[in-house]
Amino acid sequence: MKKIVLLALALSLSFCDCRYVNDAADTVFEETKLSSSLKKYEWFKDAAAQCEAKLATIETYKARQKALTEAYEGKKRGDWSREDREQYNLWESELAGIRANYNNLAAEYNAAMSKINYAYANVGGLPNGASQPLPREFKQYLE
SS3 84: helix
Detail the DSSP E strand segments found in 38-95: none
Cβ within 8 Å of residue 139, ≥6 positions away: 106
Give the per-residue pLDDT at 141: 57
Per-residue pLDDT of 122-131, as tens digits, reads 555 555 555 6
Q: For the chain, give every domain's residue range.
A: 1-32, 37-143
Cα gap 24→48, rounded to integer Å: 31
Span of 8-17, 48-57, 83-92 with lowest mean pLDDT: 8-17
Q: Who wins on pLDDT, 26 or 54?
A: 54
